Amino acid sequence: MQIDHDPAAALTRLEVGVLAAILLLSIAVIIHAETGTGANDAPAGMVMSAMDLTGHAVIIDDLYGRVDPADPGRMGSVSFSVRLFPGDMGAVDMKQAVVGFATKAEKWSLTREAPVPPAWKIAERTNVPPFNNVDDDDLLEPGEAFVLLATPGRSLAPGETFTLSFAPPGGAPATATRTVPPKVSGVMELA
């Protein structure tokens, strides 16, 4: 009886280790596929986990009043930009953000994309220099600014003071108080 000692005919320890690793990874993939995330599970990933940690500090900038087409002597809506506070690495889920509009006499909680006022919508997505990474999702992320259009429950008269607020989910609202200019026309910068 002769024993074949040809090293090419047998599996080396390295090959056995590689086969064992492949077998374990295959089993892990199968288990994950059977018990992994389904359509009803909460979203996961780096951005979703970062949203829980930050994304609560926002800045309101660039407020512009727009004339009410039905009543040209009054202001009908306000556009403004919202962005994350510099250094904040989280994200704001705009689907859960709350936009408010108040005068001395009235308060409105604006509904997103409602067909009638009071309502608000995302009018534009822009980059915050020096970044160039704006995308089409509804997450306000670092390097992005969203221009929102807010329409209160009624048009505002010249000289009327109002407060606009934007509250990210889980965060304190950012507010801006402005006064409607004495002469309302077209698009007006609200300084």
Which of 136, 173, 144 has its CA nearest to residue 81? Answer: 144
| Averaged confidence pLDDT in the chain | 86
pLDDT band at 118 (very low <50, low <70, confident <90, very high): very high
DSSP class of residue 85 equals P
Q: Which CATH number fits domain 56-189: 2.40.50, 3.30.70, 1.10.3470, 2.60.40?
A: 2.60.40
- The pLDDT, as a whole number, for residue 85 is 87
Q: Which residue has the higher pLDDT, 84 or 2?
A: 84
Three-class SS of residue 98?
strand
Indicate whether 167 pLDDT > 60: yes
pLDDT digits (tens, 9 = 90+) for 46-104: 555 554 555 578 999 999 999 999 999 999 999 999 999 887 778 899 999 999 999 99
Positive or negative CA dihedral for 120, 126, 129, 133?
positive
What is the distance between the alpha carbons of residues 191 and 180, in angstroms, rounded to a whole number?
10
- The pLDDT, as a whole number, for residue 166 is 96
Three-class SS of residue 23?
helix
Three-class SS of residue 47?
helix
pLDDT digits (tens, 9 = 90+) for 124-137: 999 887 766 788 89
Cis peptide before 118, with omega less than 30 degrees from 0?
yes
Query: Do 180 and 157 contact (CB within 8 A), yes or no?
Result: yes
pLDDT band at 5 (very low <50, low <70, confident <90, very high): low
- The pLDDT, as a whole number, for residue 3 is 62
- The pLDDT, as a whole number, for residue 80 is 97
pLDDT digits (tens, 9 = 90+) for 137-151: 999 988 899 999 999
